[in-house]
Amino acid sequence: MSAGAASATGRPPAVEEPPVIATALTELTGVRHPLVQTGMGWVAGPRLVSAAANAGALGILASATMNPDQLRSSVREVRSRTDRPFGVNLRADAGDAAERVRIIVDEGVRVASFALAPSRELIARLKDAGVVVIPSIGARRHAEKVAAWGADAVVVQGGEGGGHTGSVATTVLLPQVVDAVDIPVIAAGGFFDGRGLVAALAYGAAGIAMGTRFLLTSDSTVPAAVQDHYLAAGVTDVTVTTRVDGLPHRMLRSELVRALERSGRTSALLTAVRHAASFRKLSGLSWAQMVRDGLAMKHGRDLTWSQVLLAANTPMLLKASMVDGRTDLGVMASGQVAGVIEDLPSCAELVDRIMAEAHRTLAGLPR
């Protein structure tokens, strides 16, 4: 009988899923596959998170761009779409972080991830409630610190990753962290396929986390015209710049980024003022509030006035592209892997493809 023929019962034969790759990540979180969809602001909403979770990955809901009521509503929407484990990404420095933690605990969310290292007290509160705590870090010493405070695992993002990033490549940073801590390490930055998963596992990681690869799926809510920009980008079209908010930020070369990178201080300030004026109606911030918020983000850094204004508006700069489709007005955070991604599979297709390729890669290794 051929593989596609019907069985004697008249039913088509069951399609066998490839055997799972069980790791410390799958055991810790209860997901089927050692894959994480990262919490990208304006991108990782209920639709993408539930699709990733249903595919067997760990979907992470991005909450920094939501108020507490929106966060609770979004968590419940994800819950209505999937019965699989998922997580919520938090900003540890948010003024209402305690309220957001309470929502996570009340709603029974499995995982809390953090873009910045949470305090020892915040980790303890979550762990006492049975929530798995997974901070994201970009340096060995940060991993050692959160591990000592009780974090259950860490996401290690190398310089290839999108958004705010460091300068150390994943292939250098990952083994450093694996050797330094005794908790599961999840590799991020430069991953998009099954070969990368196998490579990360060989380094000692418990799985991989991907942002741009999940952004570029048919389950993503990012406008098609914006996804087309990502698909058209080559590896050299993804740049790291400090001209937006003073921090190294990996993104596509948009019109705004090009204008800021080729401008002097005066013209950069004019560009920032023009964009800030465009966002005032959307953000509801006064000029004084924007300056205060921008200055609060300096963290001791020597920011120009253009960076102060844009730092306060960074969430709106991302929303302009990721939600409104205004690539001329906003910025597009991106991992370097955008330059090698060419299609928009569903999350289910993507996860199945990665796992099948991982098994083929493992089977093809020299014995």
Single-letter amino acid code for the residue at 268: A
For 150-163, write each residue's pLDDT tens digit.
999 999 999 999 99
The pLDDT of residue 22 is 98
Model confidence band, residue 105 (pLDDT cutoffs 50, 70, 90): very high
| Residue 283 burial (CB count, 10 A) | 17
Choose among 207, 294, 255: nearest CA to 24. Answer: 207
Q: Which CATH superfamily is domain 24-221+341-364 in?
A: Aldolase class I (3.20.20.70)
Residue 297 has pLDDT above 90, yes or no: no
DSSP strand pairing (111-114 vs 58-62): unpaired
Query: So what's the pLDDT on residue 7?
Result: 42
Q: Where are the domains of the chain?
A: 24-221+341-364, 234-333
Tokens describing residue 37:
């969809």
For 214-257, what is each residue's pLDDT tens digit?
999 999 999 999 999 999 999 999 999 987 777 788 999 988 88
The pLDDT, as a whole number, for residue 4 is: 43
Segment 101-129 mean pLDDT: 95
The full length of the chain comes to 367
Using DSSP's 3-state secondary structure scheme, residue 277 falls into helix
Query: What does the alpha-carbon distance between residue 317 and residue 313 come to, in Å, rounded to a whole number?
Result: 6
292 compared with 130, residue with greater pLDDT: 130
pLDDT value for 59: 98
Q: Tell me, what's the pLDDT at 85?
A: 98
SS3 track for 229-241? HHHHCCHHHEEEE
